[in-house]
Structure 1
Amino acid sequence: MTDYVEILAILTSAVLIVWLFRKLHLPAILAYLVAGMLVGEHGLALTHESVDYEHFAELGIVFLLFTLGLEFSLPKLMAMRHLVVAVGSLQVGISMLIFMSIALFLGQSFASAIVIGGILALSSTAIVIRQLSESGAMKRKSGQISVAVLLFQDVAVVPLLIIIPMFAEQSDTSMVLELLLALVKGVFVVGILLSVGKWVLPRIFNLVAQVRTDELFVLTTLLVTLVAAALTQWFGLSMALGAFLAGMMLGESQYKHQLEADIRPYRDILLGLFFVTVGMKLNLALLLSSPLLVLALLVSFMLIKILVLKFLVVRAGEQTKDAWASAIMLAQMGEFGFVLIALASQVNVLPLDIASLLLGAGVISMAITPFMVEHARQWGVWLSKEEQQNTDELSQLPSQNELNDHVIICGFGRIGQTVSRFLKQESIDFVAIDIDPLRTTKAREAGENVLFGSSRKTELLEAAKLSKAKLVVIAFGEDKQSIEVIQKVRSLAPDVPILVRTRNDDNLERLQLAGANQVVPESLEGSLMLVSQVLSLSGIPFSKIVKRVQKERKSHYSHLHGFFQGEHTDMSPEAIERIEFANAVLLTDDSFAVGHSIAALNLTARRVTVVSLKRDNSETEEPPLDTVLQAQDTLVIRGKPRRVERVERYLQEGR
């Protein structure tokens, strides 16, 4: 019964705190750490046998390393080898050496100093990559540098996972001999796993895939991961190393994305449990008793990482502003730092008070990371005053013609360039704004009117003569950025028409509410083009097809919204907030709606749309509001999933 109460306490605190942290746009990792701290022996003491959970939670790290192996790309590593070797390897090596020296100076043992150096040298791959992707900064030079450094750090985790357990072994042999022995074991195990991965696993997964059973595919994935982990553990190496190698083996296969999708739920849940167990070790009283010590550790290790990385990036030949920006992005402690803390604590290499101190500083550093990544470029430009001149040169139009009644294209990628070509054919002036410096430079060399910078900046929009433009086209397809650009354009020019490209209709209403005059969803436009071809090949006159397509666009693709859900439809909380379902409601003799007109039911007030009415063998699209419903009618309605459910109950029960 006690175990049940402990598990219930962990799950309850995790659910509530993760929900709160996501509302505050903070990483889920921090939520799990706080949940563990709350229920642990240093918090409310609701759990006492945390070691029981640690063995189970270790599987979270196994699955994390497996997915890391899936995403690990040797060709990508080779393509970025200049930055990976010149910056990534030296950053890890130099940072570790500095932190080790400081730890030894402060009285830590050699083993503890190595662990502390490894923990502080690593950055958060999960948080930084996610922030770069959401902000669209992945294509910037600073983003590419950050990815290269993180790529090497991910590889550097593996030897650290091997070395740390060795410090716990009381052996007469030297560390060098132990490392050599581990290297021989590692080469042997890698050889076995790579051979199996090349010759055996593809055939196994081909056989499994032919059965077409999702459960069998998932079970096979779990089995392969755990067998590889058990094999490396049997040879005295880390389970995580085996999982990483298993992921590498399957990373180049055709099943890569399916494997990642299958393993993600298990990884996320068990990884969450792992971080809860880490949080249980966080001694809040110790942190509160010495807040200045935590703050000093936080500021010092982040400052050292920033200075080291900035020096290395400049030394590699990159611009100073990019060096500062990438260094600021990678200043925090990473999730693998927590993994190393837990491992070192288990084998009694790291003192508990030092572990709590590192955990506290790491949690705070990760909490402020989204803010630092968001402002990294701005701070980088400010810290390197001389670099501002280079961006200013790209912020001036090469054309000397006076712009008037022109088109502004935000985003000069493939879509933006295609739009510009058609505009030139019709002799319509345009100005493009793009954040990719290489693309901007190449386009300007070809004589194109392209400004470098963010379309969200007032100065760039004014330089593009927004007040004299007749149309703004937002072509980059990222809805979050598009909304910000729309709001900025509307604040400067309330009346200018705005045309927005989006990938699908998920945020159609939000874009329109933000001020977009016309939203063009690629998926729906693709559907319209397909329908046009189908109708044309079916013998429908072209003029009638054009009228149908124009009508659909004028009604904001109303007939293309809503669909019947399938077995694999995304029903995650984020998806449910944006998708629309079509649902057929069969009215029986006892249904409340029978005998009522559609108008009397007032379904529009319940924010659903009546798509069609099926009666006997006929179907009426958008039936008149005065239509009286009868028994055995099938009413097809469309709306958000929860609204559709409520309306179906209302039609049947009247409440």
Structure 2
Amino acid sequence: MRKNHHHLARALIFFALLIVIGIIGYSLLLHINLLDAAYMTIITILTVGYKEVADMNAAAKLFSIMIIFGGIALVGYTLTNLVEFIAGGQFQDNWRLKRMENKIESLKDHYIICGAGETGQNVAAQLEMGGDAFVIIDNRADIIKELREKGYLVIHGEPTQEAALKQAQIGRARGLVSALTTDADNIYVVLTARYLNKDLFIVARAIEPHAQEKLTMAGANRTVSPNAIGGRRMAAMMTKPSIFSFLDIITYAGEDVLNLEEVEVTTGSEITGLSLRDAKIPDKTGLIIMSLKKSTGKMIFNPGPDEILEPGDSMIVLGTADRVKLLSDISSPKA
């Protein structure tokens, strides 16, 4: 497809060059202005047979013969490549790519996934199930093609490069996951991302245990060691199978399973300033309040009924997706 694209571009360049040569040639041989020379060139190339704008001398006639043969050959070559360009799918691919780029440019409050390996693709699957907007950055053409066929927004570029992060609209993003295969690359992504967006929530993958501290120093809000998490999960499967099954239920998003979600209390909502007792969240929504994160950062597990809900507080709740949506509406400013 790329070959067809290059052939078409080359044909159009040659066609334009032939027109320029014709204009210059007719203006010199017939001593006419550029507009008349352009007119003569076009009617000669297209062989439409309109009347000449000046008397043709021998040199001009010979020049016209050359232009006609060159024009016929180039028109045929251009049309052939144009048909191959469209039939070969390049036109559709370019249209889809442009459409995807427009969608990426309009992203806001989205997530950026750096690296489309197994970890990155699992992150994408979870975000997709949760209905969250995201864009993936990767440099492997085969993986990019596969992800685009799934309908994902993907940028073909180096996740460590500032240009790719800017193309992903990092300035308007809510969060970023760095899931590259080396600690050095993840640290570089975190440093660059933090420089471009001071308020971005960054989660980074740590390959080696000692890299977690460096990632935090570079600007990551959270670090994840897949090996450590995998080990703990395997141990839990063996020693605490019932608890593990419960955690599995609340870990994976979906309509008919329990979700563990964070809902922020905003200024002007109907529950702002109320105690948990007066807010009656379990009665109104059917959700279980697991913990309350105060705006100061203090985490209160199994909060008591006298705890006051203040702007900036976040409730960690357990329940189905539709119930969480109901609480989000209650916690938002009144219309």
Using the size of structure 2 for normalisation, the TM-score is 0.41
- Asked which structure has the greater RCO (Cα within 8 Å, sep 6+), the reply is 1
**More strand, by proportion:** 2
The structure whose Rg is larger is 2
Using the size of structure 1 for normalisation, the TM-score is 0.22
**More helix, by proportion:** 1
